[in-house]
Structure 1
């Protein structure tokens, strides 16, 4: 039986807390606490882990062809994991839009489903759906020659990124596409395939170059072409993010023994549901709260989405069990 790696849950917990901090703190504060080096890398963390976990699963099952992966069971599992909880949040949002904000354009309300609904970070929904569908393809591309194909895909992802600039794709469309995260998912798949052979010495140089790239983009206003949107959230930055994840997996020693460890593991397990509740919180709930400052404000925007997200996670698991029982 495979032993669950609680270090991954801990990393996901830190990542979802970072998402909330991104949406709750001002840019000036984020820059002051050097957020580009950790907090602002949270989506690449999730994408690398998605690729890593997907490739681990495919390897364990011995998949060799796309037809073995893209089956009804796989698609239904992913739909229940991503689309069911999102649909519940989205449905609540369109009811609020219709009855509270008097948004009566039904077409606009219905099409909002495909752009992730409403609220900060809503783009993550279509992006994670695309990443989930892309991971099997990347796995089969990388499977036989992981490092060679990873290097090729690094340049391919940059070329695709450049193509969006040449084609003058709008920022509103670009934010919904997987393009800037093709390589982060690739790195996750690659790491899964080579994890027993990878050495820190090999990764240090590209990670250092990534660190320099992040620094140049965020603190020295570096902009070549691909940085038109999303600052350093592009392929050159992700070796540094991968190094952070590897260090976390190697040096964290999470055993699910203490209350604190159990709490962080639960936050990591519920990270997607917490993402959805924080999106709803900053979009609608926060407007009803009094103006607060300092630590009280921070504690409020952290605890409400996290606690409600955990509750939503348990509710979703309950609904899934009921759905499974009903289809047996």
Structure 2
């Protein structure tokens, strides 16, 4: 049986990232009261955990491919240079575009201390994700190093730390009320990142059934599905956790873990058809698209107001309008994000 090969390019991951970034745009378009409905919770709300699972898996395979196991190798100059080019440079560009856009639109501009952890001058939905990505760059090599020494320990420890953070966050004032500091903490996603490392070294991609027969996976999946049913179908609010993020805490992470491993086993491994080509392309540009959609939604541009201006609200069905707005938001965010990706790749990156 074939464990994941660090020297192989898995096109399935591009498709997964493409689906995840489309899901993010949908989440930031639909009304907030729909976010915790079962169909959303069990589908597109898994987008961000999916991203962090893939980041853990990809980074682990990258270190293994280079035979990096010691801290001086993991925290090398080439590691930080690569991450600076791929992550920090696009962010810096978006940062200044955000500042200019905020001034032009006469929005409230933020230039406080949180800009150093990735908070944009003109912030928008999902800005917290960028902050966690920066934290990931700093602490992942250490996580990987400890994992190589004792995999079971770091799996258990990451789960416990994530759970403790969720419990304490609801009792610490600076983390309460859906604060940015809470949302942007990597401790929220530590366990799903470690599951990504585990999958890179243990998941047999040609035998998905062997995974779901493992005792810890069975118990974990049962826990996650039970928890998600409680907070979505039964709409039960657990007062020990932050209200806004309850469907997306550590107790739920075995579910996106299974979705990702299932996708790795059964999604197309190549780009032979047009649909997989398009989604895969969006996946490769997903970081740039994520940055662009933060600005798009943060700018306050409302297609709903545009429909009012055209006088179409009375002549068109509301559901049809909602679908049209959703499609337009996806097209604008993905097209602009993909163009930004091409600009960064072909012009900016060539300067380094």
Judge conservation of contact 1:115–1:176 (CA < 8 Å) in 2.
no
Matches within 5 A, 1:144-293: 144-170=149-175, 171-172=178-179, 173-196=181-204, 199-202=211-214, 203-219=217-233, 220-284=235-299, 286-287=301-302, 290-291=306-307, 293=321
In 2, Cα distance between the equivalents of 1:318 and 1:7? Answer: 24
In 1, Cα distance between the equivalents of 2:231 and 2:164? Answer: 19
Shift of 1:310: 0.8
104 and 254 in structure 1: CA distance in 2 versus 1, 3 angstrom threshold: closer
Secondary structure (helix, strand or coil) at the match of 1:286 reads coil
Structure 2 equivalent of residue 73 of structure 1: 78
Shift of 1:195: 1.8
Structure 2 equivalent of residue 114 of structure 1: 117
Question: Match for 2:339 among 289, 292, 311?
Answer: 311
In 1, Cα distance between the equivalents of 2:323 and 2:254? Answer: 34
Shift of 1:57: 1.0
Judge conservation of contact 2:55–2:193 (CA < 8 Å) in 1.
yes
Q: Give ranges in structure 2 of 5+ residues lacking alignment.
A: 1-5, 308-312, 314-320
Structure 2 equivalent of residue 85 of structure 1: 90
97 and 111 in structure 1: CA distance in 2 versus 1, 3 angstrom threshold: farther
Q: Give ranges in structure 1 of 5+ residues lacking alignment.
A: none
Of Structure 1 and Structure 2, which has the larger fraction of its residues in helix?
A: 1
Shift of 1:112: 3.5
Per-residue CA distance 1:287-310 (angstroms, 9 max, x = gap): 476137232211100101111111
Shift of 1:104: 7.2
Judge conservation of contact 2:71–2:142 (CA < 8 Å) in 1.
yes
Judge conservation of contact 2:60–2:197 (CA < 8 Å) in 1.
yes
Between 41-50 and 148-157, the greater mean CA deviation after superposition: 148-157
Secondary structure (helix, strand or coil) at the match of 1:256 reads coil
Judge conservation of contact 2:11–2:271 (CA < 8 Å) in 1.
yes
Shift of 1:182: 1.2
Between 31-40 and 127-136, the greater mean CA deviation after superposition: 31-40
Per-residue CA distance 1:245-270 (angstroms, 9 max, x = gap): 00000011241112222111101000
163 and 133 in structure 1: CA distance in 2 versus 1, 3 angstrom threshold: same
90 and 20 in structure 1: CA distance in 2 versus 1, 3 angstrom threshold: same
Give the TM-score normalised by the residue count of structure 1: 0.90
In 2, Cα distance between the equivalents of 1:99 and 1:297? Answer: 24
Judge conservation of contact 1:90–1:113 (CA < 8 Å) in 2.
no
In 1, Cα distance between the equivalents of 2:101 and 2:35? Answer: 31
